[in-house]
Amino acid sequence: MTDQNKSSEKPWGGRFSEPTDAFVERFTASVDFDRRLYHHDIRGSVAHATMLAEVGVLTADEKDQIIRGLEEVRADIEQGRFEWSVSLEDVHMNIEAKLTERIGITGKKLHTGRSRNDQVATDIRLYLRDEIDAIAAELARLRGGLLDLAEREADTIMPGFTHLQTAQPVTFGHHLLAWAEMLERDAERLQDCRKRVNVMPLGAAALAGTTYPIDRTITARLLGFDRPTENSLDSVSDRDFAIEFCSFAALLMTHMSRFSEELVLWTSAQFDFIDLPDRFCTGSSIMPQKKNPDVPELVRGKVGRVNGHLISLLTLMKSQPLAYNKDNQEDKEPLFDTVDTVKGSLRAYADMIPAITARADNMREAARRGFSTATDLADYLVKKGVAFRDAHEIVGKAVALGIAEKKDLSEMTLEELQQFSDTIGEDVFDVLTLEGSVQARDHLGGTAPDQVRAAVARARSRLG
């Protein structure tokens, strides 16, 4: 076989005088990772063939041959009978070559009116749209589990922290609802991202459109897109939608990393606020007493790779001229790994969160130890007519006594408190209890148990 014939084995080899270097062939191939797009590639090809038949570019018989052949190729892939070839570079050419092998010259007509540039852009959008829907379902499951746990723990008192120092008492349910708020924003961002994913570039061809009488609205309708894209140059080179998804993912994983940090702290012997089921933990190879919160730790660590993928995609696109460039082959691995990481993290958390057991006594004792009702005492004095700055100083002195004598404010006698202000009366003990403190914050967004339950109901309504 001549070099000319060897180069012509490529679908684009007609103008080349020698075959591709073996290393370059492997280096430039993407089939090892883009083969996961096979389902979406075949779906797009079925819609493209259907449209070509409707506008008269293919006959009805040719369309039927192509669709039957594509479904046979799909079956081969799904049943493990398909042999992927690096020499065919990518998922698109592997499928097209196998189709042509099965049905003959008609298979070569499938590529009429399109290019691999608009084909891959369409495949990625179809893939990402499906993955967004799967991620949205897992995110909803996690949110539902959080709401159930928050409702169950609406009355459980724990210390609220600033600077990781005891600040004021809150309820565990209220704390969990803070996580739920973050996830609700994430869910909104994900659905907003989906709108920009769900536009169809197919028909833009290589960069300028095609001379064939295609009808892109037909293909868009068949594939469930909201509309076709408007500009052929932008259609084949746009990866904003992938960057936007990775931006969503980075923020979601940042939120989950924050949850993870608290879960790791709370399961430690020093806090002992919660217990995670054994099935979400591992042990030590040398220390038999250890129960390590590996799931939260691993999720906390995975945020780094997702953040890295976002930066990779931003950097990938920053200097590209219009229209398509080979650089864009590098969009898939960061995107695929981001999808896999987010789905796995959400699944683990959606399974784990509802199974958390709160150690209510330990939480309450921690809240009692940290002078967490000091602000309540200051508020009490202000309501009695003391200026806030004076009230702040009075309470500070009372706390100093408590530190010296190892007493919480609620454990002091009335006489001990009155040495700092004779404004303090017997009714002060109504506000110095932990229960009184959380109950007093009975307003929208507050930590009072009734407000927590009402917030859960509202969040469930929005989730539904």
Asked if residue 369 has pLDDT above 60, the reply is: yes
d(CA 168, CA 157): 10
Query: Which domains can be identified in the chain, with CATH numbers?
Result: 3-112 (1.10.275.10), 119-210+236-364 (1.20.200.10), 369-453 (1.10.40.30)
- What is the rounded average pLDDT of the residues 241-245? 98
Each residue's pLDDT tens digit, 261-306: 999 999 999 999 999 999 998 888 888 788 899 999 999 999 999 9
3-state secondary structure of 114: coil
Contacts of 358 (CB under 8 A, 6+ apart): 153, 156, 172, 273, 274
Omega within 30 of 0 (cis) for the link into 374: no
> Could you tell me the pTM of the whole model?
0.92
Each residue's pLDDT tens digit, 24-60: 888 889 999 999 999 999 999 999 999 999 999 999 9
Q: What are phi and psi of 322, to 5 degrees?
A: -70, 145
Q: Which of 55-59, 60-64, 209-213, 368-372 shows the lowest per-residue confidence on average (mean pLDDT)?
A: 368-372
Residue entry with tokens 């940290």? 370
Asked if residue 74 has pLDDT above 60, the reply is: yes
Contact 203, 210 (CB under 8 A): yes
Q: Which of the residues are catalytic?
A: 163, 284
d(CA 213, CA 205): 13
pLDDT score for 6: 45
